Amino acid sequence: MLETPLYLKGRPIAPRLKKPRFSCRRQGCLGLNQPGALNVEVKWSGSCQEACPSGDGCVLEGVVMTAEELLERYAAGERDFSGVDLNGLDLSGTELRCIILRGADLRGASFQDSDLSGYWKKPSLIIHSDFRETNCCGADFSGATIEILDFSNAILTGASFSGAVLDKVKFIDANLVDVDWFECQIWRATMESAITDDGLDDIIWTDWTKGR
């Protein structure tokens, strides 16, 4: 646990406990107890980017990060944060272009006014999260479960919600041009004043309330 208070945008960040173990799914990672094996748990001591033959770093599984830790690792060149626990973090106003969050826990996280454009891969569960005024151009939400989330004034051009399930989601004044809605299931959502196109025809509407 961190012993000194951290600050992000002038606000204190509460110390968080790291889960001490994770699994690397990369073939032949030298950070594993048995080189060449898959899904072997090892103690986490930060990035093992140099140890992985691919040079892409380990795939973290369930590691709890603070906002400062994630930003430091991102600034150092890391982009793959698959499986990390970002539950409740305030990452508003940050630039995290092309970040990979496949299977990450984003419940309660705030990305308000952040830049998440680029190949932003498949978070699995997003609940009570804040994406207002966020640049999510080209983001990949395909297959995700998204509930009670605010995309108001967000830029979502070219994003994918293919196969995703959405409930109680706000797209007020959002830019939804060229969004991939194929087999996306929406229960309740608001698209008041959103910029849309014919792609909405691909959505599976289920008890949906919309306002334009």
- Residue ranges of the chain that CATH labels 2.160.20.80: 64-212
Nearest to 112 by CA among 60, 151, 57: 151
Residue 29's pLDDT band (cuts 50, 70, 90):
low
Instruction: Give the Å distances, CA to CA, from 11 to 64, 73, 112.
Output: 19, 20, 15
**CA–CA separation, 99 and 106 (whole Å):** 13
Q: What is the mean pLDDT of residues 115-120?
A: 83
210's torsion region: left (phi>0), alpha (psi -120 to 50) or beta?
Answer: beta
pLDDT, tens digit, 9 for 90 and up, residues 71-107 = 999 999 988 888 888 999 999 999 999 998 888 888 9
CA end-to-end span of the chain = 47
State which amino acid sits at residue 85: D
Cross-strand pairs, 195: 175
Q: What is the pTM of this model?
A: 0.71
Q: What is the mean pLDDT of residues 58-79?
A: 83
Contacts with 99 (C-beta within 8 Å, 6 or more apart), sequence order: 74, 79, 81, 116, 118, 120
- Please count the residues of the chain: 212
- What CATH number has the domain spanning 64-212? 2.160.20.80
CA dihedral 48, 50, 52, 57 (to 10 degrees): 50
CA atoms 23, 27, 29, 35: torsion sign: positive
